Structure 1
Amino acid sequence: MKPNHGAPKCVARLQSEVSVMAENREKARGRPGRKPAENAAASSVQVLDRSLKLLELVAEADGAVLTDLADQADMAPSTVHRLLTSLAQHGMVAHDGETGAWTIGVKAFEIGTAYLRFRKLGTISRPFLKQLMEVSGETANIAIEEDGDVVFISQAESHAPMRAFFRPGRRGPIHASGIGKAILSTWADSQIEVLLGGRSLQHFTDKTRDTLPMLLIDMAEIRSRGWSIDDEEHTLGMRCVAAPIFNEYGEAIAGISISGPAVRLPDEKVAALGPIVRAAAEELTKVMGGRLKRS
């Protein structure tokens, strides 16, 4: 008996008809089939899940070839190659052409060290924040610089009824923040111009340094003084004194500050607190293994 080569086509056609009939039944019951946008979203999530799984496997293996990764991930080698190529374009993995091994990329390393820096800074800074809060009676904060903004990661909140509060994770404008300006002051004017020259500096109050020339004048004063002042530049009635924290390369990666109502932080108190905040920043830099930047 000759094999029936038409059977697979019949089966496929029958399966297709059954699928259409099932979808029509769902629609009749008020449950329409998935929309194209929903299908696209589900597909995107699946790609992300698979990519993250591969990234995890590459990290664990410390160098693995494509076939091994495909076996471990239970994916087709062609799919694994496509996902790895996309990850490599973003610097998350790297490929050795001679051995064929895939390893973790520089960008993944940068993300990992950023997380470690966040955890390390948040933990080590606690006693410094508490001490500054007790000395000043005001809220002490610590924040990092990220993509031209400041991100607050921890604080020791004042016990006063009226006080400053910065939720961890909150982002702030670098040009209208005590910590932001403290970090900027460690950069050359040319670097500041590259970062902020192409963007509009948001105006918050009449005291906001919302033009590059005004900000650069402020930078010169901060460098001479050794600490920055947010003089109601973001929020009327609130002042801040801040100083930068440096990493092992002498780069300012964060800042520590004291913030409170302007009525409790007059000029003479700000002048007295400035050196205290700067000393705390320098000591925290040393404890973290950082290196102070020399003028």
Structure 2
Amino acid sequence: MLEYIRDNEPVRLTTIATDLEIPKSTVHRYLSALIENQYVICQNDHYRISSVFLQYANTIQTRDPFYPLVNSKINELANETGELVQFIIEEYDRAIYLFRAVGDHGVRVGNYAKTSGPLHSTAGGKAIMSTWDEGRIIKYCEQTGLQPKTEYTITSPPDLLTELEQVGKQGYAINNQENVTGLNAISVPICDEDGDAFGAVSVAGPTNRLTIDKINEEITSLLLSVSNELELNYRLL
């Protein structure tokens, strides 16, 4: 119900009940509990997610002493490239966008932007998956079904395995309109001493500006340098 309210707010009780196929009395009971615990607010019979969730987000973004350094680097990269820069972690086989900064010419994600997405269709997700062993990748494929986001999304497990092997060799992943049509991205994994990725940094932009040639000629070396810097700082903490 919280997810529904988040995606459709402001929304009335009757709409929630109809769309979720839950009796109005049950919805009313749930909403009363959510309001009592300050997770939802009601204004003029319309329900919205409360700002209490900002406290949860702040806890996540500050729980690791390394995260402030990452956030600083994300903002620095956005200023340097002028594009949308993100730091992604993986949870429950999803790419979680933990930090996001937009440069002067960057894509404005706006309030509609999701906080998570598939791993296999995003550059950051593929960068993280490139550090997994084959068994874990196959398990991911079986559990998610590699659902397509665009016509360019990789939906074949053998094709994904081949690409991830290449990503592991070259040290970066490219998303060529695989998650959003008209948007390209490149990402590098940020790994610990054992080579396991605890996150990834990505740069994304429209295809007419962030071309594959520009990625190869300019952005790749920049991100690989960022990866080395962050990994070194992580090990020195």
- TM-score, length basis structure 1: 0.56
Please list, as runs of the form range in 1=range in 2, the aligned pairs for 1:7-46 lying within 5 A after superposition.
Answer: none
The aligned counterpart of 2:168 is 223
CA distance, structure 2, for counterparts of residue 118 and residue 268 of structure 1: 38
After superposition, the Cα gap between the structure-2 partners of 1:141 and 1:41, relative to the gap in structure 1 and judged at 3 Å, is closer
CA distance, structure 1, for counterparts of residue 229 and residue 154 of structure 2: 29
The aligned counterpart of 1:156 is 101
Please list, as runs of the form range in 1=range in 2, the aligned pairs for 1:116-155 lying within 5 A after superposition.
Answer: 118-155=63-100
Which letter does structure 2 place at the counterpart of 1:285? E
1:173 pairs, out of 82, 97, 118, with: 118
1:187 pairs, out of 132, 142, 145, with: 132
Instruction: Classify the secondary structure of the residue corresponding to 1:245.
Output: strand
The aligned counterpart of 1:286 is 232
Which letter does structure 1 place at the counterpart of 2:107? R
The aligned counterpart of 1:269 is 214
Contact map agreement 1:145 1:180 (CA 8 A) in 2: yes
Which letter does structure 2 place at the counterpart of 1:256? V
Q: Deviation per CA, 1:247-273, whole angstroms, max 9, x where unpaired? A: 354321110010111111112211121
User: Which has the higher Rg, Structure 1 or Structure 2?
Assistant: 1
**Regions of 4+ moved over 6 Å:** 166-169
Contact map agreement 1:249 1:290 (CA 8 A) in 2: no
Q: Which has the higher contact order (CA 8 A, sep 6+)?
A: 2
Contact map agreement 2:174 2:186 (CA 8 A) in 1: yes
Specify which structure has the higher proportion of helix. Answer: 1
Which letter does structure 1 place at the counterpart of 2:140? L
Specify which structure has the higher proportion of strand. Answer: 2
After superposition, the Cα gap between the structure-2 partners of 1:259 and 1:171, relative to the gap in structure 1 and judged at 3 Å, is same
2:145 pairs, out of 196, 200, 213, with: 200
Q: Deviation per CA, 1:20-63, whole angstroms, max 9, x where unpaired? A: xxxxxxxxxxxxxxxx969x979x99xxx9xxxxxxxxxxxxxx
1:239 pairs, out of 184, 198, 222, with: 184
- TM-score, length basis structure 2: 0.69
Contact map agreement 1:248 1:290 (CA 8 A) in 2: no
Q: Deviation per CA, 1:177-223, whole angstroms, max 9, x where unpaired? A: 11000000011222201222233111122210112112112112212
Gapped runs of 5+ residues in structure 2?
1-24, 38-58
Gapped runs of 5+ residues in structure 1?
1-35, 50-113
Query: What fraction of aligned residue pairs are identical, expressed as a percent?
Result: 23
CA distance, structure 2, for counterparts of residue 118 and residue 255 of structure 1: 17
CA distance, structure 1, for counterparts of residue 151 and residue 114 of structure 2: 27
Of 276-285 and 254-263, the range deviating more from structure 2? 276-285
Instruction: Classify the secondary structure of the residue corresponding to 1:128.
Output: helix
**How many residue pairs end up in the alignment?**
190
The aligned counterpart of 2:50 is none
CA distance, structure 1, for counterparts of residue 207 and residue 65 of structure 2: 32
